[in-house]
């Protein structure tokens, strides 16, 4: 079984509902075991900024699926909630990104692992820190905490008032205050 981290994001409709349903779909997967779910955070959109704010979370799973098959599964989940293709940063009901698949480094036309924009996204790193702040990026060797401190200061990411109620481990790290810049 491989250990995988997935990022979840939603900024359309029942955002918390889409995140919860996505976690439910992952829990029901035959070849997937849900290990941990982060707290939920609110973040401002990047790129196309004229859209609603996002709710973000990270989940940790174990799977026997190869990376390409896991990508197909996550895309099927996205489509089941009305997402059609990967857009250009516009609004979406659900966005599921493969962040890390063990310590695998791969580049194909369909999939790059680790996800290339992890180091600059506090809305990914902060929930990832909830699960494993000492996890080391397989390319740079930096920990999640180090990436947050060195590259993500000033990004607006705030703890959300609701959780995903997934039935698996979710914790709040003691260092959370270092990365929050404003309250929503």
Which residues are tagged catalytic? 83, 92, 95, 97
Length of the chain: 184
Contact 127, 93 (CB under 8 A): no
Domain total for the chain? 1
Kindly indicate the confidence band of residue 168, based on its pLDDT and cuts at 50, 70 and 90: low
pLDDT at 130: 93
Could you tell me if residue 183 is inside a domain?
A: no
CATH of residue 117: 3.30.70.560
Q: For the segment 23-40, what is each residue's pLDDT rounded down to a tens digit?
A: 999 999 889 999 999 999
Residue 98 belongs to domain spanning: 2-178
Q: For the segment 115-131, what is each residue's pLDDT rounded down to a tens digit?
A: 988 888 899 999 999 99
- C-alpha span between 75 and 31 (Å, rounded): 16
Helix, strand, coil percentages for the chain (3-state, nearest 5): 30, 25, 45
DSSP SS3 for 176: helix
Could you tell me if residue 184 is inside a domain?
A: no
Beta strand extents in the chain (DSSP E only): 2-10, 32-37, 41-43, 54-63, 95-101, 106-107, 112-113, 157-159
């Amino acid at each position: 079984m491989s250990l995988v981290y997935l990022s979840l994001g939603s900024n359309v409709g029942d955002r918390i509902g889409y995140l919860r349903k996505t976690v439910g779909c992952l829990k029901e997967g035959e070849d997937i075991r849900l290990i941990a779910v982060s707290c939920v955070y609110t973040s401002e959109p990047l790129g196309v900024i004229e859209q609603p704010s996002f709710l973000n979370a990270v989940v940790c799973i174990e799977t026997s699926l190869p990376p390409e098959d896991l990508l197909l599964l996550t895309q099927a989940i996205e489509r089941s909630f009305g997402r059609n293709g990967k857009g250009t940063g516009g609004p979406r009901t659900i966005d599921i990104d493969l962040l890390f698949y063990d310590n695998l480094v791969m580049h194909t036309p369909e999939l790059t692992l680790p996800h290339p924009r992890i180091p600059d996204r506090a809305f990914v790193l902060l929930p990832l820190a909830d699960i494993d702040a000492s996890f080391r990026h397989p390319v740079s060797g930096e920990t999640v905490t180090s990436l947050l401190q060195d590259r993500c200061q000033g990004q607006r990411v705030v703890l959300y008032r609701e959780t995903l109620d997934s039935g698996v481990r979710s914790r709040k790290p003691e260092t959370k205050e270092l990365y929050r810049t404003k309250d929503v």
